[in-house]
Structure 1
Amino acid sequence: MIRTLFRSLEAVHAMIYFAPEADARYASAGLDRPGGYFASRAAALGAVGAEVVIATFYNFNPAIVRACIPQAWEKVSPQRMLELRWEAADEALAKVLPDDLKEINELAKRAAERSKEMPHGRTLFAANAALPWPDEPRLQLFHAQTLLREFRGDGHLAALLRHNVTGIEALVLHAATGDMPADVLRKTRAWSEEQWAATLEDLRKRGLVGEDQLLTEKGRELRQGIEDDTDHMAAPAYDVLSDQEKQRFVELASPLSKAVLEAGMVPGRR
């Protein structure tokens, strides 16, 4: 149920990483697409250096991060990046979300506020949790899911560390499920073909991936353990909701994510 709750609203947040409204605003600040991504997502942390972004984002090639951060802060302040992100999210979501978001906002905000009571060990989440709530209903929903997403995401990193899985290994294991093309995962995180191939070969030697580049039974067990740990660590955010409220959350959120996906706002997902 925890994963269902998360996924039911995830597209409302995820669209910001692909929105042309965001790209245009970041470009106006002098940032290319990678620079805009790293600066906008890291902005809540302040003008941090590359190593902080490498650590908190986890699965990106450090070279691409160092090519963008801290140079981005010489062009635009973290506060301005946050403002640009809010503006882009509001404009993009206005195209697909209904005006009446009162009930889902109440449920999502309660879960998000609950998560704010548990910031320990969740650096990127805690930085976003310190931001004030916006007034616009669409942005309130966006912010609530941002908090729930980063709360879960930081827990996911803890799960990867617990299972001794590096960032690029996590990507190769994801590709080995067959759920997403390896090239998409590799290119979007800026890993070279050589780095990917070397990691794949190492995972083969460890018995986690087969010759068909798909997970072995051992690999499936490892990945399931990571996902189960992630769900377990994300669950406390939703414990403020009753079982009936959780079901209502999914009922209200799912059509909103569906509207985002059907509008093509998250590439590769419908």
Structure 2
Amino acid sequence: MKAARTAWRRLEPLHGMIYFVPEGARRYAELGLRGRAGYFASRGAAFGRAPAELVIATFYNFHPGLVRRSLSGVWDAVSPEEVLAARYAAADEALRRAGVHELDGLAEVVELARRAAEAACEHPQGRPLFAAHAALPWPEERVLQLWHAQTLLREFRGDGHVACLLGEGIGGLEALVLHAASGTVPTVFLKMSRAWPEEEWDAAEQDLRERGLLDGDTLSTDGKALRQRIEDRTDTLALPAYAALGEAGCERLAELAVPFRRAVVDAGLLQPG
């Protein structure tokens, strides 16, 4: 399990960068998508002309009002196919700007990541956001094959994580509050990016204190145990993908991923534009 988690974490920046790079914002703006519309439309386009309620349900932790405002009128102005094409073009541009296409080991990384992603495709049940992306065709370009593979692995894991949160009675806002209380991500960033009103955030904090999961503004002993339980269970639910590689394959993927992760970070692809 440790090797699988390490492999996922090291390659995750190759997917995650799409939410920060200027190539994405520019491509979406060319379609008339401004502000947060590009994010919600591009990640949700795999569903087709998905209503805001489906995005609210599957993205999980964004304020519903933000999603509804961002997607209002989007599918009247642009097609999901156009948005998906823009997303893939942006990913290709950004990863090539980082020099990912020139790195040694690209063919082997793609082979391992794709094998894991295709194994995940045998287990779509209960994973709607993953399943929607899994139905998309594989790109022909090798760099985009890697991006698509990691996108599938990310959404596979993400859907499993949502299931774990639901099983523990943790809603989207509560998950954010607990994440902020862990100290791993600045609270101000989570509040700004997910757009929850201050009064709703404060109410969620108070509820979590009453449940014994917060001690002031930090995680209580029970809160830490809960987060660890959720993370461990999320790792377990992600294993059907990585089981196809075996322990040795996961370790090899994690080893090969190091320069790819470094290239993305060094090129500044994870810095908000």
TM-score interval (norm. to shorter) = over 0.9
Does residue 243 of structure 1 match 2:247? Answer: yes
Q: Which residue of 1 aligns with 2:149?
A: 144
Q: Is the 8 A contact 2:45 2:83 kept in 1?
A: yes
Q: Work out which of the residue numbers 122, 130, 142 in structure 2 matches 1:117.
A: 122
Q: Look up the SS of the partner of 1:133 in the other structure.
A: coil
Gaps of 5+ in 2: none
CA RMSD of aligned residues (A): 1.1
Q: 1:8: Cα distance to partner? A: 1.1
Matched with 1:223 is 227
The aligned amino acid for 2:189 is: V
Task: Identify which of 9, 12, 25 aligns with 1:10.
Answer: 12
Q: Is the 8 A contact 1:13 1:146 kept in 2?
A: yes
Deviation at 1:201, TM superposition (A): 1.3
SS of residue matched to 1:92: helix
C-alpha distance in 2 between matches for 1:3 and 1:241: 13
> 236-245 or 5-14: which moved more?
236-245
Q: Does structure 2 retain, via aligned residues, the 8 Å contact 1:47–1:70?
A: no
Structure 2 residue corresponding to 1:93, chosen from 84, 95, 108: 95
Q: Which runs of no fewer than 5 residues in structure 1 stay unpaired?
A: none
Tell me, in whole angstroms, the C-alpha distance in 2 between the residues paired with 1:108 and 1:266: 21
In structure 1, the residue matched to 2:41 is 39
SS in structure 2 opposite 1:254? helix
User: Out of 5, 23, 26, which is 2:28 matched to?
Assistant: 26
Q: Give, as a single letter, the amino acid of the residue that structure 2 aligns with 1:252.
A: L
State the alpha-carbon separation in 2 of the partners of residues 33 and 148 from structure 1: 27
**Other-structure match for 1:261:** 265
Residue 157 of structure 1 pairs with residue 162 of structure 2: yes
Q: Distance in 2 between matches of 1:113 and 1:98?
A: 22
Give the deviation of 1:28 after TM superposition: 1.1
**Identity over aligned pairs, percent:** 54
Tell whether the 8 Å contact from 2:95 to 2:101 is kept in structure 1 after alignment: no
Please list the CA deviations of residues 46-94 of structure 1 after superposition, one character each: whole Å capped at 9, or x if unmatched: 0010110000100000001111225211121000000000000000000
Which has the bigger relative contact order, CA under 8 A and spacing at least 6? 2
8 Å CA contact 2:21–2:271 kept in 1: the answer is no
What's the CA shift string for 1:97-130, capped at 9, x where partnerless? 1425100000000000000000001001001001
What residue is the counterpart of 1:233 in the other structure? 237
Give the TM-score of the pair, scaled to structure 1.
0.96
Offset at 1:166?
0.2
1:209–1:219 CA contact under 8 A, matched in 2: yes
Measure the CA separation in 1 of the matches of 2:56 and 2:140: 32
- Distance in 1 (alpha carbons) for counterparts of 2:70 and 2:109: 36
Runs of 4+ aligned residues of structure 1 deviating over 3 Å after TM superposition are: none
Is the CA contact 1:48–1:70 (under 8 Å) kept in the aligned structure 2?
A: no
**When the two structures are aligned, how many residues end up with a matched partner?**
267
C-alpha separation between the residues in 2 aligned to 1:186 and 1:28?
A: 28
- 3-state SS of 2:270 partner: coil
| 1:218 partner amino acid | D
Which of 69, 72, 75 is the aligned partner of 2:74? Answer: 72
Query: How far off its partner does 1:242 sit?
Result: 2.5
**Residues 27 and 90, structure 2, Cα contact 8 Å, conserved in 1:** yes
C-alpha deviation, 1:258, in angstroms: 1.7
